[in-house]
Structure 1
Amino acid sequence: MNDRITGFVLKQSDYREADVILSVLTKEYGKLSFVAQGVRKMTSKNAGSIMPYTKTEILFDYNETKTFFRLKNARCKEYYRSMHEDIIASSAAAVAAELIDVLTLQATNDMSNNHEYAFLDIVFSKLDEGYD
């Protein structure tokens, strides 16, 4: 039962020796948490796809009773290269992502965060174009 979603990586925290915990905002399910196993290893295929402040397509198994999932595969849909290279734009993206992370709750059955998702999409796109 593989589910494929697109979401914004809000933050990434180190976990154990080679794993990370991701906070991802999705349009369909709201905010979800993932454990990405082995992504801090040099041979990881998913490491470049789960960087903070990127739009990423994630493959995982969704279960309504859980709020923490195991990431199977990830593919970067939008990297926002100019935003990541500019320190001011990158800082603004960090503030926007932290704001959304704090203001949104973990996903429940009847919850989606369409407004927050659209907000991040616009902010990241504008910052990538050079609007500070």
Structure 2
Amino acid sequence: MEIIGIVTRLTPFKEKDAMVNIITEEKNLSFLARGVLGIASKNMASVQPYTKSRFLLTRGKEGLSLRTGTVLETFQGAKEKLASLSTLSFIGELTNKVISSEEARKIYPYLDKVLFLLDEGFDALTLALLYTGEILRAAGLGLEVTKCVISGQRSDITAISYLDGGFVATPCFDALRHQKCSKRKLEIIRQIFLAKPEDLNRVVFEKWECLEIIKELLIYLLDASGTRIKSVVLLEKGTQ
């Protein structure tokens, strides 16, 4: 079987072997890569995290294993700066913990574009925020950002409710359940849940805006699914 995928995790297994996790246009896959941790391995480069490669896989009694791997994109520029490295760790953890095989086709074009833009030097925190929104949307946790989640009203939106799952209009506001937001913050949240892959480099948000909203979205993710993303601390350190 030949397949193109992006490596999201490389886990040492035995002495020189490793388990490789990739995401493709259709699904998530994991396979055994024998000998890739050896210095002389010809396949080592193809299984490095956040590398896009073409893999030739064979299926045996123990599952899929790597026969050959060919690097298509290294995204090396994304791996040379602390800010983008921190974002790589963050989006990798998000992808591995949240995205199921059935959801891979939704997130793959976003992951591919984020890696390309990080490689080009685009703002890493903005990409981390936009990708977080898309991860939630792909996992069925997207927020309603086109109208009031309670009444359906499209005007006079002044708050957000993570409990109710979206924007809230003034007549429906409940101080115990809802969070008042500035127009700027509401517009950012709207953009991150409506963005398409081609939109990811059209705007840059302030560092503090990105971190504030990312943290809120991760609390929402934790409350909704029990999934905790630990690498968010790297985003803060990577941009200091």
Which structure would you say has the larger Rg? 2
| DSSP-derived class of the 2:42 partner | coil
Alignment of 1:5-84 (within 5 A): 5-28=3-26, 30-61=27-58, 68-84=63-79
Name which structure has the greater RCO, CA cutoff 8 Å, separation 6+.
Answer: 1
Deviation at 1:112, TM superposition (A): 6.0
CA 1:67–1:41: 2 relative to 1, 3 Å: closer
- CA 10–62 in structure 1, closer or farther in 2 if over 3 Å, else same: same
Determine what percentage of the aligned residue pairs are the same residue.
30
With normalisation by structure 1, the TM-score equals: 0.85
Task: Report the secondary structure of 2:90's partner residue.
Answer: helix
TM-score, scaled to structure 2? 0.48
Alpha-carbon distance in structure 1 between the residues aligned to 2:89 and 2:71 = 18
The match for 1:92 is 87
> Mind listing any 5+ residue stretches in structure 1 that lack a counterpart?
none
User: The residue matched to 2:55 in structure 1 has which SS?
Assistant: strand
Unmatched tracts of structure 2, length 5 or more: 125-240
| Cα offset, 1:61, TM superposition | 2.9
Is the CA contact (8 Å cut-off) linking 1:32 and 1:68 kept in structure 2? no
Between structures 1 and 2, the one with greater strand share = 1
- Contact 2:59/2:65 (CA < 8 Å) preserved in 1? no
